[in-house]
């Protein structure tokens, strides 16, 4: 029997949390032989709803789920955790400026960064899902000086999956036929879903689709996909975001030979500023996350990357007092 893994999830009674917890507890994230304890964090007004979620988790009689903690105290939620998935964040309310949004989330992620620093296990891996994910991740890791920045990442796997699915649909192939695609930069409308090194059954993707579609349809559709879902459902993406979180943590924890996308504390690769959390093409193994180096970047790609880098530097300026 494997040793029990302790997993914290914040915003656990929210929409994404509700789609996420049952799949984690069933064994989908870490494997069907990995026992776990869930440590669930919510804000005080959501504690009743969270108790209902806990009852439903109990009602599934999941063999791998050994214990559930439900709390509104970050120190309890993060106590001795091996993994943390930070889903809860302050959504943008009507009329709210981006600066106010960053500030409101800054308050959450400074507290959580400090609590992770003092309470989590020293090898903890922290995945930030709550938006603005990259900058929330930057705030959290900056407030956890005893942890290595490489122990934090921001989720861009949903964008990666969306790009994979859209390309597969366009060229009418299976999703497994697609490799090497990458999301660069911020999980926002400036992100750059890049096909320059992507392949379809081994053939360069840009030999299979035309540049006009790539630049004028594909890129904007991935950038705006969240808004399109919101428009259709009347609610923002929850199940697909939860699915991406499961896949990103799965690959980070267990490793993957496939190129995927993760927002990581920049190491300066590809000339990106070292002070931000930036999504790169990566592979994961036991040693950690490795940026896929040496991809050819043309002028178009470099210009797209510069836009999203600039946005992240602006976000950083707005929360400089928090890091």
Which residues here bind a copy of itself, judged by CB under 8 A? Answer: 18-19, 21-23, 26, 28, 48-49, 51-53, 55-63, 158, 161-162, 164-165, 168-169, 174-176, 225, 228-229, 231-235, 237-240, 242-244
Alpha helices (H) along the chain = 15-26, 47-59, 74-77, 98-119, 133-142, 157-171, 205-208, 211-213, 219-223, 225-233, 239-254, 299-318
Q: Which is nearer to a copy of itself, 15 or 267 (CB)?
A: 15
- Rounded to a whole number of angstroms, the minimum distance from the CB of residue 245 to a copy of itself is 11
- Rounded to a whole number of angstroms, the minimum distance from the CB of residue 47 to a copy of itself is 10
- Rounded to a whole number of angstroms, the minimum distance from the CB of residue 152 to a copy of itself is 24
The catalytic residue among 160, 187, 250, 290 is: 187
- Rounded to a whole number of angstroms, the minimum distance from the CB of residue 175 to a copy of itself is 4
CA–CA dist 153, 140 (Å, integer): 10
For residue 192, give both structure tokens.
Answer: 């750059």
CA–CA dist 279, 266 (Å, integer): 8
Q: Which residue has the tokens 């105290």?
A: 73
Q: Which is nearer to a copy of itself, 211 or 230 (CB)?
A: 230
- Rounded to a whole number of angstroms, the minimum distance from the CB of residue 212 to a copy of itself is 22
Q: Which is nearer to a copy of itself, 4 or 267 (CB)?
A: 4
- Is-contact 67 76, C-beta < 8 A? no
**Active-site annotation holds for 187:** yes
- Is-contact 18 58, C-beta < 8 A? no
Q: Which is nearer to a copy of itself, 22 or 300 (CB)?
A: 22
Q: What is the DSSP string of 135-189?
A: HHHHHHHHT-TTS-GGGEEE--HHHHHHHHHHHHHHHT--GGGEES-EEEB-SST
Q: Which is nearer to a copy of itself, 58 or 148 (CB)?
A: 58
- Is-contact 280 184, C-beta < 8 A? yes
For residue 116, give both structure tokens.
Answer: 């992770």
Give me the active site residues, please: 187
């Amino acid at each position: 029997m494997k040793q029990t893994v302790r997993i914290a999830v914040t915003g656990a009674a929210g929409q994404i949390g509700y789609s996420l917890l049952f799949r984690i507890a069933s064994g989908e994230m870490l494997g069907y032989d990995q026992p776990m304890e869930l440590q669930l964090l919510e804000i005080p007004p959501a504690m009743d709803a969270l108790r209902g979620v806990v009852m439903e988790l109990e009602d599934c009689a999941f063999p791998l789920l050994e214990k559930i903690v439900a709390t509104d105290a970050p120190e309890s939620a993060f106590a001795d955790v091996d993994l943390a998935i930070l889903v809860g964040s302050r959504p943008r309310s009507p009329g709210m400026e981006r600066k106010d949004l960053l500030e409101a989330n800054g308050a959450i992620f400074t507290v959580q960064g400090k609590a992770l620093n003092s309470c989590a296990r020293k090898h903890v891996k922290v995945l930030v899902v709550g938006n603005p994910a990259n900058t929330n991740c930057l705030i959290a890791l900056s407030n956890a000086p005893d942890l290595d920045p490489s122990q934090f990442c921001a989720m861009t796997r949903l964008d990666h999956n969306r790009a994979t699915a859209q390309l597969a649909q366009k060229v009418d192939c299976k999703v497994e036929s697609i490799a090497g695609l990458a999301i660069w930069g911020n999980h926002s409308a400036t992100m750059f879903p890049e096909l320059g090194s992507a392949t379809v059954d081994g053939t360069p993707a840009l030999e299979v689709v035309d540049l006009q579609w790539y630049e004028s349809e594909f890129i904007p559709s991935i950038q705006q996909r969240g808004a399109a879902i919101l428009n259709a459902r009347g609610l923002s993406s929850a199940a697909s975001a939860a699915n991406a979180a499961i896949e990103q943590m799965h690959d980070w924890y267990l490793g993957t030979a496939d190129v995927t996308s993760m927002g990581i504390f920049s190491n300066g690769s590809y000339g990106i500023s070292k002070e931000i959390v930036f999504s790169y093409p990566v592979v994961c193994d036991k040693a950690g996350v490795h940026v896929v180096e040496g991809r050819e970047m043309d002028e178009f790609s470099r210009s797209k990357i510069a836009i999203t880098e600039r946005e992240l530097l602006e976000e950083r300026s707005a929360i400089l007092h928090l890091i």
